[in-house]
Amino acid sequence: MINNISNINQKHPFHLVDPSPHPFVASLGGLGLTFGGVLYFHGYVGGKFLMFFGFFTIIFIMFV
């Protein structure tokens, strides 16, 4: 088996990853978890829902 790594044309010396929506969705989940936790601990009505939504968003991104 011949290794043809030397024939690859590199346009730059760095490895660029493909664009992905996962970091953006995870950051929104973290923001929802943080704001939801603060709202829940201060007794606001929608805080519990927002906290659980942020938590499950982060868990979902971890498994994806």
* Gap between the Cα atoms of 18 and 28, Å rounded: 20
* Burial of residue 23 (number of CB atoms within 10 Å: 0-12, 13-18, 19+): exposed
User: What 3-state class would DSSP assign to 54?
Assistant: helix
- 6: tokens are 């030397």
Average pLDDT, the chain: 88
53 within 8 A of 25, measured Cβ to Cβ: no
Supply the pTM of this predicted model: 0.71
**More confident call, 26 vs 13:** 26
**pLDDT band for position 13 (cuts 50, 70, 90):** confident
Q: Amino acid identity of 56?
A: F
pLDDT at 4 over 70: no
